[in-house]
Amino acid sequence: MAKLPYSFYQEEDVNQLAIGLLGKQLFTLVDGELTGGTIVETEAYKGIIDKASHAYGGRFTNRTKVMYEAGGLSYVYLCYGIHHLFNVVTAGANTPHAVLIRGVEPVTGLKVMLRRRNMKAMKPNLTAGPGALSKALAIDKALNGKDLWGEEIWIEDSGIRYKPEEIAAVPRVGVGYADDHAILPWRYYVKGNKFVSRPNK
């Protein structure tokens, strides 16, 4: 298996890349323990025009600056003081697009993930949901801004290719009714996969 190259992340169409990441393998090597899984759910955050994005309106701060880097970096941040959320920075420099990884299917290091999650048996919610998968893979702020072809966290091409009819594209909710982007489906997941955080919505 090969790590995805720098060029993979330079895609300017963040929605295309969100789809392209489905079926790829996300790995982390933390404390000498290797864990990883297949990405089955993503959500695109379209930089300055996405009201939900931290970079909305061109906001540039200490936290969001990593999104303005050229694609291929990780963007990790803490939500609700408890959950770490993992994003893939995409597109060229000065375009703060990112893809939130919302769900993975466990493949490697299952026992380690169970321990980190304080669970005894495999259940879909082990890695379903952005906060849950981050904990299972030991992703926290220490991994913010890392290259995604490095030695601590990386994404490989597993060779899995989903057909268009196997991927569900769901419009976001709660965006302004007058906004053209409200009708665009920015959340993608593999149909029928148990490790998708929210089957509907």
Partner DNA sequence: TTCTCGATTGTCT
Partner DNA sequence: GACAATCGAGAAA
- Measured between alpha carbons, how far is 101 from 190 in angstroms, rounded to an integer? 13
- Measured between alpha carbons, how far is 105 from 148 in angstroms, rounded to an integer? 19
Q: How far is CA 57 from CA 47, 87, 96, 101, in A?
A: 8, 19, 11, 23
Query: Of 23, 36, 37, 129, which one interacts with DNA (CB under 7 A)?
Result: 129
Q: Does 142 bind DNA (CB under 7 A)?
A: no
Query: Residues binding DNA: what is the number (CB under 7 A)?
Result: 30
Q: Does 200 bind DNA (CB under 7 A)?
A: no
Query: Of 8, 9, 45, 195, which one interacts with DNA (CB under 7 A)?
Result: 45
Q: Please say which residue, 16 or 125, places its beta carbon nearer to DNA.
A: 125
The tokens describing 29, both together, are: 């090597």
Q: Please say which residue, 29 or 78, places its beta carbon nearer to DNA.
A: 78
Residue identified by tokens 């998708």 is: 196
- Measured between alpha carbons, how far is 127 from 114 in angstroms, rounded to an integer? 10
State in angstroms the smallest separation of the CB of 11 from DNA.
17
- Measured between alpha carbons, how far is 56 from 167 in angstroms, rounded to an integer? 27
Q: Does 94 bind DNA (CB under 7 A)?
A: no
Residues 137, 138, 144, 145: what is their CA dihedral angle, to the nearest 10 degrees? -50
State in angstroms the smallest separation of the CB of 1 from DNA.
26
State in angstroms the smallest separation of the CB of 165 from DNA.
26
- Measured between alpha carbons, how far is 127 from 138 in angstroms, rounded to an integer? 11
Q: Does 178 bind DNA (CB under 7 A)?
A: no
Q: Does 59 bind DNA (CB under 7 A)?
A: yes
- Which segment (29-37, 59-67, 106-114, 184-192) binds DNA by CB under 7 A? 59-67
Q: Does 63 bind DNA (CB under 7 A)?
A: yes
Q: Does 15 bind DNA (CB under 7 A)?
A: no
- Measured between alpha carbons, how far is 72 from 155 in angstroms, rounded to an integer? 10
Residues at the site binding DNA, with contacts judged by CB under 7 A: 43, 45, 52-54, 59, 61-64, 75, 77-83, 85, 87, 98, 100, 117, 125, 128-132, 197
